[in-house]
Amino acid sequence: MLLDLSEEHKEHLAFLPQVDSAVVAEFGRIAVEFLRRGSNPKIYEGAARKLNVSSDTIQHGVEGLTYLLTESSKLMISELDFQDSVFVLGFSEELNKLLLQLYLDNRKEIRTILNELAPRLPSYHSLEWRLDVQLASRSLRQQMKPAVTIKLHLDQSGDHSTHCLQTDPATLLHLVQQLEQALEEMKTNHCRRVVRSIK
């Protein structure tokens, strides 16, 4: 799978061939730090003074490199696909090898950082349910009013929470049909590709 870089990202990365390999390696380190701790304008200003360019150019170069490394790590693309993705940028062979080495050295750490940044969603623990049917009331002697009460237990980072829901059987049946349809949709090739790219 090849990366699809926009023109803007290509412009940001176009600064890399203008500096030597030690600077590109330092940009790689700054890119990983950027993921860990966020942006630091002081680092950009210091690098800009040393290289006699604007701090925006440095920032765009680091952000472009960050995007290249995060997207590659997110998709877990192979060495060959990474080289092919970078080849279209028209860089020298030495720079392409350096970028590949940056990717190989940092992809596990980048995936770990991205996993830590991902939101923690609650997960299913257990479910209790009860069917209540009201057969009559003071005003109506013969009526049939069913209701399904559901008690949903969820886990989120070790914390347990309980949610009580109540619905009529027709709505519950519709909900079940929609969930079954979503599960069938997950088996399609398109959904499998999307899920692979998210992981």
Between the ranges 7-11, 157-161, 176-180, 188-192, where is the mean pLDDT highest? 176-180
Q: Would you state the pLDDT for residue 119?
A: 77
Residue 174 has pLDDT above 90, yes or no: yes
Element spanning 159, H or E: strand 159-167
Q: Would you state the pLDDT for residue 1?
A: 66
Does residue 150 sit in helix, strand or coil?
A: strand
The answer to whether the CB of 72 falls within 8 A of the CB of 109 is: no
Average pLDDT for 18-27: 80
Q: What is the pLDDT of residues 62-104, one digit of tens each?
A: 888 888 888 888 888 888 888 888 787 777 888 888 888 888 8
Contacts of 92 (CB under 8 A, 6+ apart): 17
Residue 199 has pLDDT above 90, yes or no: no
Instruction: Give the residue from 31, 33, 28 showing the smallest Cα distance to 102.
Output: 28
The answer to whether the CB of 62 falls within 8 A of the CB of 185 is: no
Q: Would you state the pLDDT for residue 180?
A: 94
The pTM for the full model equals 0.60
1/102 Cα distance (integer angstroms): 19
What's the mean per-residue pLDDT of the chain? 84
Does residue 65 sit in helix, strand or coil?
A: helix
Residue 3 has pLDDT above 80, yes or no: no
**Measuring CA to CA, how many Å separate 119 from each of 36, 116, 122, 157, 196?**
16, 8, 10, 11, 18
